[in-house]
Amino acid sequence: MNNTATIEYDSEKDQGDVRLLPGDLAIWFFIFAELLVFAVFFIIYSIQRLQHIELFNQYQATLNKESGAVNTILLITASYFVVRAVQSIKADEVEQCIKWLYASLAMGAGFLAIKSYEFYSKFSVGIDLNTNDFYFFYISLTFFHFLHVILGMIIIFAVIIFAKKGKYSAKEHTGIETAASYWHMVDLVWITLFPLVYIIR
Amino acid sequence: MSRLFNTTGIWIIMIILTIFTYAMGKLGYSGTAPVLLLLLTVLIKSTFIIRDFMGLRGVSLLWRSIMYGWLWIVVISIAVTYLMSTH
C-alpha cells in the first residue's frame, strides 16, 4: 500500500506529461469567474473591516461559530463524498457512485438547513442588510455562497438522474467530473469564508 | 486501495484543521500569530481541495497557476489588511 499523502490520478488521462483538467473545460471558465467574484468580495470585506475594526469585532461576536464550524465539516464531507463518487465511476461502479452522490446531497441539504436557521435567527430580530456594514457583508457574502450551494446541489442531482439512465461509465464520466469540480469550488470558497467572517478578529 | 486510503486521510486532516479553527475562535485567540496560523490552515485545506479533490495535480501549469494564484492572492490580501489593522 502506498501510504504517502497523495492521490493517484486518472491514468487514462495521464499518457503524456500534462493532464487535462477534469470535467468539461467550460465549467472551469465558470469556476474561474466565480472565484474572481468571491476574491473581490473577500478583499473588499477585509478593507472594510480595516476601516471599522471595532464594529466588525463587536458584531462578529454575535455569529454562531458552532453552526459555521459544523457547516464547514458538512461541506468538506460533501466534497469527500463527491471524490468517492468520481472514484466509483472510474471503477465502473455506477450504483456506488450514485450512493456517494446522494450522500453528498444530504450533506449539502444539512448545510442549507443550518444556514437557513442562521439567517432566520438574524432576520427574526430585525437584522438585515441595512443594519450595519458588518451585517451587510455577512448576509450578502454568505447568502451569495448559499445560492452557489443550491446550484451545486442542482447540478449533482442532474448528474444522478443521468447516472441512473446509464449515461456514465468508467470510460465516459465527464459529466460527473464537471459536477465534482463545481462542488469543490463551492467548498473552496467556504474554507476561506468561515475563518474570515466568523473567526478572525 | 491507496487512493481510498489517501482520500480518506486528507478528509480527516481537513476535519481536524476545521475543529482547530473553531477552537481558536471559541477560545478567543486574536492577534497576529493566531491569525497567521488560521490563514495557514486555510492554505493547507485549500491546497488539498485544489490538488487532491479537484484533481489538479499534474495538469498544465497555467491552470494550476490560476487556482493557486487565486488562493495566495486572497490569503495574502487578508493577512496584509489584518496586519495593517494591528499597527
- A139 domain-assigned: yes
Judged by a CB distance cut-off of 8 A, whether residue B85 touches chain A is yes
- A39 domain-assigned: no
Q: Which residue has the cell 451587510?
A: A136
Residues 60-79 of B with CB under 8 A from A: 60, 63, 66-67, 70, 73-75, 77-78
Distance from CA of A176 to the nearest CA of B (A): 12
| Enclosing domain of residue A164 | 65-195
CB A130 within 8 A of CB A103: no
Across the interface, whether the CB atoms of B7 and A83 are under 8 A apart is answered yes
- Nearest residue of B to residue A198, measured between CA atoms: B25
| Interval A52-108: pLDDT, tens | 999 999 999 999 999 999 999 999 999 999 999 999 999 999 999 999 999 999 999
| Interval A137-150: pLDDT, tens | 999 999 999 999 99
Q: How many domains does chain A have?
A: 1
A25-51 and A174-193 helices, crossing angle to 10°: 10
By the 10 Å C-beta count (0-12 exposed, 13-18 middle, 19+ buried), A1 is classed as: exposed
Residue ranges in chain B whose pLDDT is less than 50: 1
Nearest by CB to A184, from B53, B66, B78: name it.
B53
Kindly list the residues from chain A whose CB atom is less than 8 angstroms away from the CB atom of residue B7: 7, 80, 83-84, 87
For residue A181, the domain's CATH number is: 1.20.120.80
pLDDT at residue number B86: 84
- A174 domain-assigned: yes
- A13 domain-assigned: no
